[in-house]
């Protein structure tokens, strides 16, 4: 009998052990090789394929071994001090093969040590502002990942360990969103058990997407503060204190670092502009805009103070854990990728909190030109459904404006059940979207009751003002203002807003712009980043249909050179047909 029980116990233990070893890692899902298209956050059309080489350049596909094996092989000086990594010519083909896997230069990353050195990017004053850091609450650092490379993931982890005060880091939580790579299983478990800061991996067996993965992490976090990072970041010296300091003063502030750029090709660390703020365009794509010239001047006095931002990029921020859940955490019906950053930004602002950027905190992030992974369910059912939810819950009548110009979101909007989010909005007594636009982003370029929205048609030539497609350095459209054939359909390219102050603006924060001073002869009219200065202010005379420049009093006219593509000019007003403009309202509600 005893023998029988002992046997039973052994079998039980063995089965338990077996089950554990089976369940401990997400199961391998071999991905379907479906290709999908979407417009990425830079407005570029991207085809999501998988590890496919480029036959035109004779780059072969990445091999199974390249994808599933950890090839980390550092050289002590590679990427030192934020410098670019040099790849030898003989390795270029392999480099391009490896590039397909994560859509960044994996070979370069694998050459850099996990603790590569970086300069201190802060303004000098920042070093003296956080002397009382020991009184700040501790944070759990949450990093979600799906098929991340070994070297980028662990470089993120080491940058947290090496560049944060030990007193402030409660733990690091890695949330594995059903990764398929062998090296992210046992080898990663073994590796993190040796780290000097308590580090845990939470594994999801199914692909749940970054939104639900972050929720999983948040639910398990022990720290009073949650700090989220993407899995390919590098925190720089003094990054954490400014974030926690803001939350110490105001537990309803959600605070982001300045996001610097780790070049996806060379891995050079490039400090980015500190006074950028986050907003979004008519397609609800997140965008950085420069503070208007006027606002910039105000900020320059103390460029170390945290400042408000209408939205956040999404991946890198700190938030009080209790506040995170009180204000509605995330929308659990959002999938895979996208939209959650706007959702949280609108929600936080409209429901009484703040989104801020702390310019003393610098964290680098690898910006990729395309996405390396599949969107299970398809882009339409994921990204556009997420955005439809954002619009339906938080944007009131502006959701109609979004759907009007975004067919893909329009197609999935009726499938969305948003009852529980509306209940939350109600419970928290959140303000409406108009309040948000007026108070949090007064210089926005969205239509509103108080302003014109529609086409601006030239009477002489029956042509319409159009948004330029040429892009400038900051990836904003720019160039000479032009007119072109008026289209029958109402398309965003032809839509403009004219504010009561006289700014003629369109999507992506670009404005009709001309020199402030009177010049002899005609001068060119451009489309430029909105600055808030009077060189972008216009006055429309309904009677004469002339459009004057506010300060030089000249009239907007069509260049009389043969081709209209030459663009628009300012000339002395003379009552000619080419100086008459028809403002055609387009309904958008």
Residues between 252 and 271 with contacts to ligand LR7, criterion CB under 6 A: 259
State CA 415 to chain mean position distance. Answer: 26
Residue 315 in contact with ligand LR7, rule: CB under 6 A: yes
* Binding site partner of 177, from ligand LR7, Mn ion, none, Cβ cut-off 5-8 A by kind: ligand LR7
The one segment of 183-191, 225-233, 283-291, 568-576 that binds Mn ion by CB under 5 A: 225-233
Residues between 180 and 219 with contacts to ligand LR7, criterion CB under 6 A: 207, 209-210, 213
**From candidates 144, 161, 240, 348, binder to ligand LR7 by CB under 6 A:** 144
**From candidates 108, 160, 244, 316, binder to ligand LR7 by CB under 6 A:** 316
Cβ neighbourhood burial of 426 (10 Å; 0-12, 13-18, 19+): exposed
* Binding site partner of 231, from Mn ion, ligand LR7, none, Cβ cut-off 5-8 A by kind: ligand LR7
Residue 170 in contact with Mn ion, rule: CB under 5 A: no
Q: Supply φ then ψ for residue 584, to 5 degrees.
A: -100, 110
For 386, residues 6+ apart whose C-beta sits below 8 A from its C-beta are: 211, 331, 334, 335, 338, 339, 340, 343
Residues between 335 and 394 with contacts to ligand LR7, criterion CB under 6 A: 336-338, 340-341, 365, 371, 373
Q: Which is nearer to Mn ion, 161 or 313 (CB)?
A: 313
Q: Which is nearer to ligand LR7, 210 or 279 (CB)?
A: 210
**From candidates 238, 257, 314, 454, binder to ligand LR7 by CB under 6 A:** 314
- Nearest-angstrom CA–CA distance, 192 and 190: 6
Q: In the complex, what is the shortest distance from the CB of residue 337 to ligand LR7, in angstroms, rounded to a whole number?
A: 4
SS (H, E, C) 296-326: HHHHHCCCCCCEECCECCCCCEEEEHHHHHH
Q: In the complex, what is the shortest distance from the CB of residue 365 to Mn ion, in angstroms, rounded to a whole number?
A: 6
What does the block give as tokens for 130? Answer: 């956080």
Q: In the complex, what is the shortest distance from the CB of residue 412 to Mn ion, in angstroms, rounded to a whole number?
A: 24
What are the b/e assignments for 194-222, b being 16+ CB within 10 Å?
eeebebbbbbbeebbbbbbbbbbbbeebe
Q: Supply φ then ψ for residue 455, to 5 degrees.
A: -90, 150
Site for Mn ion (CB under 5 A): how many residues?
A: 1
Q: Which is nearer to Mn ion, 234 or 557 (CB)?
A: 234
Residue 340 in contact with Mn ion, rule: CB under 5 A: no
The one segment of 114-122, 186-194, 313-321, 455-463 that binds ligand LR7 by CB under 6 A: 313-321
**From candidates 170, 176, 177, 230, binder to Mn ion by CB under 5 A:** 230
CB 103 within 8 Å of CB 337? no
Q: In the complex, what is the shortest distance from the CB of residue 309 to ligand LR7, in angstroms, rounded to a whole number?
A: 12
What does the block give as tokens for 293? Answer: 């010239």
For 197, residues 6+ apart whose C-beta sits below 8 A from its C-beta are: 160, 161, 166, 169, 171, 172
* Binding site partner of 337, from Mn ion, ligand LR7, none, Cβ cut-off 5-8 A by kind: ligand LR7
- Nearest-angstrom CA–CA distance, 409 and 76: 48
CB 551 within 8 Å of CB 511? no
For 132, residues 6+ apart whose C-beta sits below 8 A from its C-beta are: none
The single residue listed with the structure tokens 């692909």 is: 207
Q: Which is nearer to ligand LR7, 207 or 482 (CB)?
A: 207
- Nearest-angstrom CA–CA distance, 464 and 457: 4
Site for ligand LR7 (CB under 6 A): how many residues?
A: 24
Mask: binding to ligand LR7, 101-140, rule CB under 6 A, as x and -?
----------------------------------------
Query: Which residues form the interface with ligand LR7 (CB under 6 A)?
Result: 144-146, 148, 177, 207, 209-210, 213, 230-231, 259, 313-316, 336-338, 340-341, 365, 371, 373
Query: Which residues form the interface with Mn ion (CB under 5 A)?
Result: 230
């Amino acid at each position: 009998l005893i023998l029988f029980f002992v046997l039973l116990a052994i079998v039980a233990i063995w089965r338990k052990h077996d089950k554990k070893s089976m369940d401990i890692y997400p199961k391998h899902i071999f991905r379907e090789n479906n290709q999908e298209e979407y417009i990425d956050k830079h407005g570029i059309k991207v085809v999501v394929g998988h590890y496919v080489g480029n036959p035109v350049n004779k780059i072969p596909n990445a091999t199974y071994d390249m994808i599933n094996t950890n090839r980390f092989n550092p050289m002590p000086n590679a990427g030192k001090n934020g410098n670019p990594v040099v790849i030898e010519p003989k390795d270029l083909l392999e480099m391009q093969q490896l590039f397909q896997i994560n859509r960044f230069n994996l070979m370069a990353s694998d050459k850099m040590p996990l603790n590569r050195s970086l300069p201190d990017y802060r303004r000098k004053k920042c070093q003296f502002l956080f002397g009382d850091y020991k009184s700040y609450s501790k944070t759990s650092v949450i990093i979600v990942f799906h098929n991340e490379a070994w070297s980028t993931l662990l470089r993120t982890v080491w940058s947290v360990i090496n560049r944060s005060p030990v007193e402030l880091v409660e733990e690091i939580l890695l949330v594995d969103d059903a990764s398929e790579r062998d090296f992210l299983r046992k080898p990663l478990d073994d590796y993190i058990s040796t780290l000097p800061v308590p580090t845990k991996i939470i594994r999801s067996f199914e692909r749940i997407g970054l939104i639900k993965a972050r929720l999983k992490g948040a639910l398990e976090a022990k720290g009073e503060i949650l700090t989220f990072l993407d899995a390919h970041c590098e925190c720089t010296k003094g990054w954490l204190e400014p974030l926690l300091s803001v939350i110490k003063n105001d537990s309803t502030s959600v605070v982001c670092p300045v996001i610097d750029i780790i070049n996806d090709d060379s891995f050079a660390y490039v400090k980015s502009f500190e006074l950028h703020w986050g907003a979004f365009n008519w397609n609800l794509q997140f965008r950085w805009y420069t503070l208007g010239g006027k606002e910039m001047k105000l900020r320059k006095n103390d460029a170390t103070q945290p400042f408000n931002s209408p939205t956040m990029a999404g991946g890198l921020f700190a938030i009080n854990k209790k506040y995170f859940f009180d204000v509605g955490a995330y929308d659990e019906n959002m999938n895979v990728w996208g939209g959650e950053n706007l959702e949280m930004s609108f929600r936080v602002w409209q429901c009484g909190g703040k989104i801020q950027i702390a310019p003393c905190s610098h964290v680098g992030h690898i910006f990729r030109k395309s996405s390396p992974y599949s969107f299970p369910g398809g882009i339409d059912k994921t990204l556009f459904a997420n955005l439809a939810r954002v619009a339906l819950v938080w944007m009131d009548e502006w959701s109609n404006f979004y759907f009007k110009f975004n067919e893909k979101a329009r197609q999935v909007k009726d499938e969305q059940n948003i009852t529980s989010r509306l209940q939350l909005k109600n419970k928290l007594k959140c303000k409406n979207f108009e309040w948000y636009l007026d108070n949090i982003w007064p210089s926005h370029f969205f239509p509103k009751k108080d302003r014109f929205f529609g086409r601006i048609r030239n009477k002489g030539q029956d042509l319409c003002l159009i948004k330029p497609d040429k892009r400038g350095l900051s990836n904003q459209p720019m160039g000479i203002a032009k007119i072109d054939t008026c289209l029958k359909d109402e398309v965003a390219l032809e839509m403009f807003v004219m504010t009561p102050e006289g700014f003629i603006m369109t999507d992506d924060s670009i404005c009709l712009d001309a020199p402030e001073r009177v010049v002899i002869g005609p001068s060119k009219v451009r489309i430029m980043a909105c600055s808030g200065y009077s060189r972008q202010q216009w006055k429309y005379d309904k009677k004469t249909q002339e459009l004057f420049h506010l300060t030089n009093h000249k009239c907007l006219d069509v260049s009389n050179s043969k081709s209209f593509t030459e663009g628009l000019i300012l000339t002395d007003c003379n009552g000619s047909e080419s100086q008459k403009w028809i403002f055609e309202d387009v309904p958008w509600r």
